[in-house]
Structure 1
Amino acid sequence: MEIITSGFQSDLDGRISENVRAVLVVESADLAQKMVLGLPIFIRTLRQLRQAGFKEIWMVSRHLENLRPLLNRFGMLEYIQLSHDTPHFESGVSIFSAQYHYESEFIRWVHVKKITNPSDYLGKINPMWWHRLEDSKASLKAIEKKIFQNIKDKTEGWVAPHLNKPVSFAMTRQLVKTDLSPNTITFVNLALAVLTALLIMNNNYGWRVLGAILMQFSSIIDGCDGEVARIKILSSRFGAWFDTIADDLANNLFWLGVFVGLFRTTGNTFYFNGGWVLFGLSFLVSLFLYYQMMTRTKSANVKDFVPAWSDKPASAKEGWFEKVRPLMKRDFFVFLMFVLLILDLRVLLFWISTVAISATFLVHGASFVLSLVRRR
């Protein structure tokens, strides 16, 4: 049997031209209320339907009174319409079952393609994108495993998938059981970055080691906000931009700690003055990047950025920029800083950072200028 595993993203990138209704059929209230990573399975699907762009969402069940408290608790009553029987629509409706777990990408694809019966396609798509819910712990564990695996499969870089994710996943499993929002996690991590910078600039080696450890820990936590947002279907444009800007602020704070610490230890003003110059270049890189993300890629996610001279999306993984992208990712550079700080090789870190920041400034600056020229 042919398994559909490609072509989805190109379909999802297209415009949605009309409103499509979605109907979620809840046959078993007991199954629908099963908790998977902090959410009842039917609440997860309703949030996914809303996130995918379905503006009219119906939930059909003979057990509405049993389900209404959970709908109210998770704030879904204002977004959906309830019925004991499936309403009749002549066209423009997609019917889902609460007895299945669906990946968000599949639901978005169903929306774009205006598919009436998504269940007809379950045997043809990647099995990681759906799971039939059964009344067993093994079934719930299988869904959890698929959710985390799908997140890991979309994680880029050399360090994050292999070193950061095993730890962040363990933390996220606990965080989804709380009411902490992804934005709260981002804010806490930014506050941790401030403390880290203060420790890194300390004259005492022991405090700097603690700062280095906290810096790597911050890099791990950086994955938790996005994981919680995806698992609990709480992603938002504001949250994505907040996360991106907070990451850049944290990176600059870490760099501030490095060059101020070198100046305090050696008394050499070269590190202090040169560090501030590089700090300014790093700030400009962020501005160049944000402008292009807002005007060209229309995305708040840095991984979607492609330089102005490229005519292919980042997902194509082609060109020299894509080959060096892992070197510019936060997970790699923070890990490199962590190692060099532990080894007390701050001078080497200063010069590596000088080369890295300067090269990044030239690349993003050239792309920024080219994007300005093309917009005229």
Structure 2
Amino acid sequence: MRGINRILTAPFTAFFIRSGLHPNYITLLGGAVGILAFFSFSIGTKAGFIVGAFLFEAFYILDNCDGEVARARGLSSEFGSWMDTLVDCFIHVLAFIGIGIGASRIAENPLMIFVGIAAGMGTFLSTFVAMLQKTRNYGLAIHGMPKAPAGAEKKITAIDRLIDILSVGDFSLVLLLFAIFNKMELLLWLGAIGANLFCIILLAINFKYLTGREE
């Protein structure tokens, strides 16, 4: 599926291809922008949320660029793929925590910090289990978990399709809308509930694999 951000990314990808910058550095640049978004979210003002949301959108664009540049220049690597995934996960977790801090300052309610942490943890755990799902389907091994035999057909399951749908890459635009309409507390609650619910679903589906009982 091709999201709106993929379309917005095109001119930036073309620029980075011409610049010769290695895609791994684009990943790190995106991570730096994501950290700036965290600090902006943490300020605790509507303006801080909106600026943070635009920075988060910039992170998403850079996050798309690194992979596109890597493929265009023949620089794709397993290391780059894992680094991209880890930076992506880290920034999403940080964003939710930053929004929680900011929302707690606006509402003068410390509970929002814990809601932000819950959303961040749900995001982290969902990403981790989704990564394990990929290792099962694509023949990679992590921490001694079972690995698909060489040459085995890749299994595309319903959960893979669900992950693909949820990973279209337009969450940053949704976040921007919530920031503009000053509904960041609602976003936090939706994130905390949705991310953790999705994680539970992934864990249930992958239980045998995670416990090493899959044949």
Q: Could you tell me how far 1:312 is from its partner in structure 2?
A: 7.3
Seq. identity, %? 24
Match of residue 341 from structure 1: 179
Q: AA paired with 2:179?
A: L
Within 1, Cα distance between the matches of 2:45 and 2:206? 41
TM-score by length of 1: 0.49
1:364 aligns with 2:193: no
Q: 1:237 to 1:334 in 2, by over 3 A?
A: same
Question: Of Structure 1 and Structure 2, which has the larger fraction of its residues in helix?
Answer: 2
- Cα deviations across residues 266-304 of structure 1 (Å, max 9, x unaligned)? 22122122332333333222332333333443369xxxx
1:352 aligns with 2:157: no
Could you tell me whether the CA contact under 8 Å between 2:92 and 2:120 is conserved in 1? Answer: no
Q: 1:298 to 1:260 in 2, by over 3 A?
A: farther
Counterpart secondary structure, 1:169 = helix
**Alignment equivalent of 1:250, drawn from 51, 74, 91:** 91
Moved over 4 A (4+): none
Match of residue 67 from structure 1: none
Q: AA paired with 2:204?
A: A
Give the number of the structure whose alpha-carbon radius of gyration is greater. 1
Q: 1:186 to 1:293 in 2, by over 3 A?
A: same
Q: AA paired with 1:334?
A: S
- Cα deviations across residues 110-155 of structure 1 (Å, max 9, x unaligned)? xxxxxxxxxxxxxxxxxxxxxxxxxxxxxxxxxxxxxxxxxxxxxx
Within 1, Cα distance between the matches of 2:193 and 2:154? 27
Question: Of Structure 1 and Structure 2, which has the larger fraction of its residues in strand?
Answer: 1
Within 2, Cα distance between the matches of 1:299 and 1:338? 36
Within 2, Cα distance between the matches of 1:184 and 1:259? 29
Alignment of 1:227-306 (within 5 A): 227-298=68-139
**Alignment equivalent of 2:40, drawn from 179, 199, 205:** 199
Could you tell me whether the CA contact under 8 Å between 1:182 and 1:228 is conserved in 2? Answer: yes
Could you tell me whether the CA contact under 8 Å between 1:326 and 1:332 is conserved in 2? Answer: no
Gaps (5+ residues) in structure 1?
1-155, 301-310
Within 1, Cα distance between the matches of 2:52 and 2:63? 16
Within 2, Cα distance between the matches of 1:207 and 1:278? 20
Within 2, Cα distance between the matches of 1:299 and 1:177? 33
1:166 aligns with 2:7: yes
Counterpart secondary structure, 1:176 = helix
Q: AA paired with 1:340?
A: F
- Cα deviations across residues 297-326 of structure 1 (Å, max 9, x unaligned)? 3369xxxxxxxxxx9733xxx74x366445
Counterpart secondary structure, 1:350 = helix
Could you tell me whether the CA contact under 8 Å between 1:196 and 1:212 is conserved in 2? Answer: yes
1:313 aligns with 2:140: no
Alignment of 1:182-221 (within 5 A): 182-221=23-62
Q: AA paired with 1:210?
A: V
- Comparing both chains, which one has the higher relative contact order based on Cα–Cα distances under 8 Å and sequence gaps of 6 or more? 2
